[in-house]
Structure 1
Amino acid sequence: MEEKREPLSEMAIERKIQILRNKHMDSEVIALVKSDYEYGLTDDEIGLYLNKSYDIEQMKVLSKCLHKGVSEALLTLLKDSRMAAPKMQTALDYYEKGVPIDAIREVVQKDDTAVNMRRMFDVVLDKLNKAKEQMPQDLEYVKSLVAQMDEVVAKINHQNERYDALNKKLSEIETSKDDEEVRERLVKENQDKDALINSQQNELNKASSTIARLRDDIEKKDKEMKRMGDRIESLEDKIISVATENKKEAESKAEPQESQSVSQADKKMVDTVAVPQNMQAVANGIPVYYQIPVVDGTGNVVQRLPIERSVRKSSNSGVVSLFARLSFKKKSRADIVKLVASGDLVPAQLVQIKSAIEKGLTESQLVELINNNISAEKMKEIIEIAVLENSMAD
């Protein structure tokens, strides 16, 4: 049976036809394809006969089959058998008259002429017609059987409905029981989870309280450390100031002693002179070296001799004793102490100066280190370089 189709637009059809023209297809083929597009056949349907090595007459028969909406079995049979167009047309005609597809396949497989095919199809039609004439008698019998079957089926359906209702009721009871068990289990699980959450919340609150207390303690410690740091810096400044004053005072008291220790014009050298006992101590039990000038007969200073003295503990022994111990072990270190005392060095820089003296840097290296007033970090690196340089020179 032919079905209603929606054809493509004229512009779309023209584009498709132009492609066929560009391929130099026969005009009859183009006309057939155009009519099929206008009827509403799709590209896939037209592709069943197009470009398949069919002649135009075979294409027309296949096109009719598509127009009439024959079964897929007949269309495949005609398409694959590649019969001549008259045979294909004969098969289509008798299919429309009611010849079954199996009978058509049996006749087509014999590969006979179109005339003989018609004769065989006529025989099949006669048998079909006779069967139809006898069908009314059989139809009544069939109807009675169908009625009896319907009655049996109705009873079976009724019983099935009762069984279904019973099964549904039983399922509801079982489901209700299962739901109650599930509900009780879920309630218990929720209670356990609530208890766990409460416990974790208590632990979290304790942890938060501890963190807050520790944060306060850290802030207090930071403030205390800052206060102590400020106090240490203040004390260091005071100690450095006192050390400078004590050093100046010690030098001023040492000058008369030096003048008394020098011999007269013809004396070349002098013995070690004891330091007066009333001289103020600058270190806690640490030997302090003082320098006494030695002059020749003309009064010129030829060298300075160190004089050692151990002094008792004093209230300003910290940084003063450090400078005394580090600065006066050699006769030429007095100038280093002066540079340190007069310079604007911070405690970290003083620590690096101490380290430089302990590592044996020369006087010129120490003077350069103090005069340039570089940071403690750079001092440390420069001291390491100087130590390496001195070891290589040795």
Structure 2
Amino acid sequence: MKSLWKEITIGNMNLPHRLAMAPMTRSRALADGTPSDLSPEYYGQRASLGLLISEGTQPSEDGQGYLNTPGIYTKAHIQGWKKVSDRVHQEGGHLFIQLMHVGRISHPDNMPHHRQAVAPSAVAPGEQIFTADGMKDVPVPRELRTEEIKDVVDEFRKAAAAAIEAGADGVEVHGANGYLIHQFLGENSNVRTDEYGGSVENRARFAIEVIKAVVDEIGADKVGFRVSPGAPLGGVNEGVQIDQVYVYLVSELDKLSLAYLHIMHLGNESLLGKIRSVWSNPLLVNRAGRHIEDISTDIDNNIADMAPIGAWALANPDIVERLKKGAPLNEPDRSTFYGGDAKGYIDYPFLDK
């Protein structure tokens, strides 16, 4: 694992190693989307990971899909996140807030305005979602009018500005996992006939417009982007042109000199190699189902520059120390992943405790 401990510069950050904390939904925000008083402790405990990418954070009321996820579009949200960023910085870490608009992966019962979700097209994902009344079918969303799309782009821009006001070091725009930006990329989730649908270039247009707006607002060195090529999450399928979709998108984003590109990788090695070849800046690769002993393999083989970790970071706030010492790891308690209180959130033991 020697390559893990080499320093690296990401955007305007000098990081001590090649690990990072991947974004993980925890559903512990207050009902209005303000991070709870437990959040500064949760993130602060994990600051030794260097770069902490926050849980998905909605840029607007329309962007919320799940109960008790945080927002970054009100003064209260900004104040709540300021406590988090201050604590992370006190502990020597850096914080990127992930901007996540869920699009159609929502339910009126989970949204503050209780309206129909918006999406590229009026196509339901064919999935269920947890609500206060239990699991329910995700309803058919409302197709965004062409003239509305610029307003959604502006929501991302304003949210990025709010994240910087809250003291974050930057933002990661979530273009993966079946959510809004990924829905625009999907062949089955985007059946539009205007300039945002049809061709590869049209389906990538929304993602590129969002990133350009965010870069214009806060600077490219404070912006990352996440993709998940081929991930079936949310019912999205990019179709037979999947390679063209991502090579085109990444090539266009590369022109903007973002801080990093973050891939949730499901095993398409050929496409990963193509993305690596057209991307000039740091590449973060998070392999699904990766064993902890293989954490440095992609870095060793020059496939990736950093290796974000999810559940292992959740269960081991001092995982950097544990890996360096070869110490045993705490096992993640999946029953406490989503919602609840301090249990399974800030009570995982440290080595010295």
Q: TM-score range by the shorter chain?
A: under 0.3
Q: Quick one: higher RCO (CA 8 Å, sep 6+), 1 or 2?
A: 2
Structure ID, larger Rg = 1
Name the structure with the higher strand share: 2
Bigger share in helix: 1
